[in-house]
Amino acid sequence: MPNVLTQLFSRFRRVPLAIKTGIYLLIGYGLYALLLGGLAPWVIKSQAPKQLQQLLGRQASLNDISINPFLLRVRLDNFALQESDPQQVFASFSQLELELAFWRSLTQGAIAIDHIYLVDPQVNVQRLASENGQAQFNFSDMLAHLEANQTPQAEATEDASEPPRVIARDIRVTEGKFAYMDKVANTELSYDELNFSLQALDTKAYILSLPEDENKPVLAKDANRYALSLTGSDNGQLQTQGQFQLQPLEVTGELQLAKVSLLPFWPFADGLIAAKLSDGELSFQSQYQLKQQQDQLHYSTHKGRFILENLLFSDQQQARVKLPLLALDNIRVDGDNQNVDIDELALQGLWADARLDKQGLDLQQLFMPATNAKPDDTAAEAQVEPALAQPEAADETEALNKATAKEKATAHTAAEPNKAQEQEKQWLLTIGKISLKQADLNLFEQQQSDGVHWRVYSLDITTGPVRSDLEGSIDYQLQLALSSDAQTQPETSQGQFSSTGAIDAKAFTVNGELTLTELELQQFQPYLTPYLNMQLESGKLSTQGKFTANAEGKAHFQGQAGIGKLLIKDGLAFEPLLKWQNMAIDAMSFDSKANSLKISNILLEQPYAKVMITEDQRTNIGELIRAEPPGDNSAAQSQTKQSQENEAPQQTAAKEKINTKASTDKAFKLDIGSIAIKNGSAYFADNSLTPNFASGIEALEGKISHLSSTPGTKASVDIKGKIDKYAPVTLRGEVNPLLEKPYLDLDLVFKSVELTSVNPYSGTYAGYYIDKGQLSLALNYQLEDNQLKGDNHLVIDQLKLGKPSDSDLATSLPITLAIALLQDRHGVIDLGLQVSGDLDSPSFSFGSIVMTAITNVITKAVTAPFSLLAGLVGSDEELNLVAFQPGIATLDADAEDKLSKLAKALDDRPKLQLSIEGSVALREDSEALAEQKLQLQLLKASKLATLPDELSASRFPTQGKLADALVELFEQQLKLDADAEKDKVKQRLAEKANGERVDEDTLLTVWHMGLYNQLLSAQEISNNELANLAQARAQAIKAFLVDRAAVAPERVFLLDSKTEMKQDASQAILSLNAD
């Protein structure tokens, strides 16, 4: 065998050199192919998994590896890197193929690769529970293993040489899969189609721009083209494509996101807000450019579009916010100039469902970021609260802080004068247009009511350009429809609002125009119910005008307004309380700075008001204000009292300063050019009476002109109407209720008002119904310096009472007598009533002073009727008493004169009846009758024709027939001896004369005087005689009135003067009654 080898070697040495070289190359190439194509794959397949496991601490597997030494192609099949749990795969691929381009490397002097193909790569990343606050992933152990097995290396020296050129014809990743599971956020992301391609890679190529220092460079426009596409399990796609160059670095391309579901990403925000994202998709596209120039990185984007679709936020039970579309169009970013420009921000179909209650707005709570207060914040709040609790201290602190800040700012400015110029430039965002279309906002309000469903639909807002630096004004257009319902979600519009204008966000000013069209007022009824006992049935508010406002509270509005078809019903009978067809304000101007409101004209068309008294004597006006619940009131008062007691002195002083400032502020000024009433009416009903009372004023027309709160001004009033369609009523004069002390000078005139319409009142309170009569009333009231003066003229024509009502509430005053006293012979009652009052008096009541005046007139008339009659004939005598001389019933001249005046007064009061009752003075009239009786006896006994005039005891004759008749009567009636009586007289006279002789004439005079007086004392006057005298006196008066004064006999009545004889005086007593 050795010989054979020796022979072969000997022959080989004799072979020509060229052949030997070929043989050497062939043998080398064979060895190369054997080692690279056979041995290397076996070694790699057997050792690579072990090395990876040692390096990463994970099991790895490789199904096959093949190397084509001729094409320089390497292919790895079915590689897998396991999880910590060997049953799960962390990363894998089906095939990885790399093919080098050897000859291109030689010809182009670069590392040339023909292609790199990666097929079906899969990576499963998991985020695990955190440990010690550090995020943990399913690859964290591999990183830790690498770090633990890493050997220290010497610091690498900087290599100034350029990296080698690398070129590759085709690099692709196909059918890739990526899965991410976050066990902390409890979410999973899965992308089943990942494809990447990089065509004509050349790390040295100039593709997009040329460097300035290159000599004759050439652009390779088709090199370095990349494309990436990624499709998720939700069919959302990410695509990007473009070109890049590395030296200098520059990248251009286009990025697209299409229909990417946001739900898998929402768990990452879980806990930031309470709301839950239930649906939503993201789309985005943009062209971008990244460029490195002079060691600075420049970037920009253009043709960008950002879209959010079908956003749906919900709480734990139901959807709360929906946004079908949010779009940002034509987004442009300029990194060099730090500008972001967006043509339009558009929101379409926003829908929100919110609830407002005592705890606040629930959407605010749903979307409020969940943040925890920091200790520093708490300390800051603790420092702020005392300052707020003490306004003066807060003001001083603020002033001190401002001064300190100013000093610091001055010092800082001096030290760094150019700091402002060195500050980094701020980014500027400009949005060409912001639009909100077809928004639908729903609110269930329970904070101020028992529950009202409010809806704003549709809401449209459009703005002009908006800048983040707030430079320039922002034009806007706003349109919305408003509606509400206490029971269910409203469907139809109940009012339209629109506004156009401009907002200066930097100066905090706004100006524009607004229009409010037919806002239904009845939808605000739930907010009136707790305070007003009324039902707002209908009413449409409209207004239009121009306005300006700023952050300092200054506002100005100029326009017009109106309320149409207003209907308010009372809360007692649910009948109309106030209504009108239209109320129009043609021009108004409000200025908050001047604190003034000017109105040109107010027109009230067909206004109507009703005042009603119910059966239980409640009024729809008096019951309008609901009483505050006692518990709430007392609790509020207790809380107020407690807060006042706990109030610090500094707070009290601060409040006093505020109140002082408020009192010195400019008073509100109101000017109204005119208030016109067209075809108005009013109605009054009293259902507490039986029968019920009702009356109305119709055809109200007129105007109130120049009403102003300016001192010294007076508004003229000219209003007219008709009561119950026929009786005219007018109101004229001047008034100003807007002054601190109101002023008025008004004349109110009613003419020919039918009194039969007030039968319920006359029957209830006067005790009689009215069969006939008309009332005319002229009222003049003047109010100045809170002093009221009234001059009222009341005329009642042809008043005729009907049957009595037997009312328990009727007055005790004799109404029929009062009417008879006040009504003249023409059937007219004409009264003048003077009233006055002090509005500053706590007891002042306009109604009470008028009623008091009327009551006083009636009371005076019925309590002193003859004084009223005496006034009619210009007399100050008491016409109700007629005096007589004692013992007689004959009228003297004075009595006849008095009765004549009385007859004249009775002629002017035809409904009066006169009653006469005689009276006697017991002693005087008895003495007079006794003397008359004695003298009659003397006349009969003396048989004389007549008795001497002025016959009396002292003037009695001492001789003749009359003297004889006296002696005869003395002895007959007294049964005494007249001569014995004479002796007694003589003896008494002698004793008085002291022994002197008694004159015979004196004796006879004294004797006859004694006889006369004794006979007079012996006369007996009976009560019947006195009663006859009283009756005779009454008859004498009637006879005079009837026979001589022409008073109708049926109007004069004689009362019974005998049965219960009056014994007060020698007179007749007259009384009056109504016919």
| 799-831: pLDDT as tens digits | 888 888 888 878 888 888 888 888 888 888 887
Nearest-CA neighbor of 814 among 858, 764, 879? 858
- Nearest 5°: the CA angle 520, 524, 525 is 110
In the predicted structure, residue 203 carries a pLDDT above the cut 60: yes
For residue 51, pLDDT over 60 is answered with yes
- Tell me if 565 sits within 8 A of 554, measured CB to CB: no
73 CB-contact burial (10 Å; exposed 0-12 / middle 13-18 / buried 19+): middle
Name residue 748's amino acid.
Answer: L
Residue 493 has pLDDT above 50, yes or no: yes
How confident is the model over 414-456, as pLDDT tens digits? 444 444 444 567 899 999 999 999 999 999 999 999 999 999 9
Give dist(CA 110, CA 533) in Å, integer. Answer: 96
Lowest mean pLDDT among 338-347, 978-987, 1046-1055: 978-987
The pLDDT of residue 5 is above 70: no
| Domains in the chain, CATH or no CATH each | 1-142+171-180 (no CATH), 271-282+309-369+428-507 (no CATH), 508-628+667-739 (no CATH), 741-858 (no CATH), 864-959+1020-1075 (3.30.1330.60)
Query: Is 975's pLDDT higher than 70?
Result: yes
pLDDT at 14 over 80: no
Confidence class for position 1007, pLDDT limits 50, 70, 90: confident
Hey, is 980 helix, strand or coil? Answer: helix
pLDDT tier for residue 835 given thresholds of 50, 70 and 90: low
| Cα–Cα nearest to 830, from 799, 804, 806, 852 | 799
Q: Which of 21-30, 164-173, 1039-1048 has the lowest mean pLDDT?
A: 21-30
The encoded tokens of residue 1058 equal 């005998």
Residue 380 has pLDDT above 80, yes or no: no
Question: What pLDDT is attached to residue 628?
Answer: 63
1027 against 990, higher pLDDT: 1027
Confidence tier at 781 by pLDDT (50, 70, 90): confident
Residue 401: pLDDT above 60?
no
Region 736-742: what's the mean pLDDT?
A: 84
Average pLDDT over the chain reads 84
Residue 286: phi and psi, rounded to 5, are: -170, 150
pLDDT at 404: 46
Please tell me the least confidently modeled range out of 404-418, 514-528, 593-607, 699-713: 404-418
Residue 655 pLDDT level (bands cut at 50, 70, 90) = low
- Compute the distance between CA of residue 663 and CA of residue 137 in angstroms, rounded to an integer: 70
Predicted local confidence at residue 414, as pLDDT = 46
Which range, of 280-284, 445-449, 692-696, 698-702, averages the lowest pLDDT?
A: 692-696
| Residue 1032: alpha-carbon gap to chain centroid | 83
Asked if 66 and 99 count as a contact pair (C-beta separation under 8 A), the reply is no
| Sign, CA torsion 958/962/968/971 | negative
As a residue count, the chain comes to 1075
**Phi-psi sector, 280: left (phi>0), alpha (psi -120 to 50), beta:** left
Residue 130: its H or E element:
strand 122-131
pLDDT of residue 383 exceeding 50? no
Least confident of 110-114, 632-636, 952-956: 632-636
The listed range with the strongest mean pLDDT (9-23, 624-638, 919-933) is 919-933
What the block records as the tokens of 565 is 């078809």
Listed range (55-69, 254-268, 414-428, 528-542) with the worst mean pLDDT:
414-428
Q: How far apart are CA 578 and CA 539, in angstroms?
A: 11
Whether residue 182 is predicted with pLDDT greater than 70 in this model: the reply is: yes
Assigned token pair, 282: 């993201």
Looking at mean pLDDT, say which of 377-386, 476-485, 605-614, 1004-1013 comes out highest. Answer: 476-485
Closest CA to 754 of 771, 731, 737: 771
- Name the token pair of 807: 């009312």
Report yes or no: 611 and 619 within 8 Å, Cβ to Cβ.
yes
Task: Specify the range with the lowest mean pLDDT, choosing from 527-536, 685-694, 871-880, 886-895.
Answer: 685-694
Q: What is the mean pLDDT of residues 237-257?
A: 92
Residues 570 and 611: their CA atoms lie apart, in Å, by 9
Report CA dihedral (131, 134, 140, 145) to the nearest 10 degrees: -90
- Residue 20 above 80 pLDDT? no
Query: For 249, phi and psi rounded to 5 degrees?
Result: -65, 130
Vertex 613 angle, CA 612 and 616, to 5°: 150
**Kind and range of the H or E element at 461?**
strand 452-463
- Give this prediction's pTM: 0.73
Q: What share of the chain is helix, strand, coil (3-state, %, to 5)?
A: 30, 45, 25
Most confident segment among 94-98, 614-618, 1018-1022:
94-98
Predicted confidence at residue 753, as pLDDT, reads 83
Cα–Cα distance between 690 and 688 in angstroms, integer?
7
Q: Comparing 109-113, 625-629, 945-949, which segment has the lowest mean pLDDT? A: 625-629
High-pLDDT (> 90) share of the chain, %: 41
> First-to-last CA distance in the chain?
182
Q: Alpha-carbon distance 1069 to 814, whole Å?
A: 19
At residue 384 the predicted structure's pLDDT band, cuts being 50, 70 and 90, is very low
Which of 106-110, 327-331, 379-383, 783-787 is the least confident region?
A: 379-383
CB atoms within 10 A of CB 376: 8
C-alpha 830/C-alpha 501 separation (Å) is 66
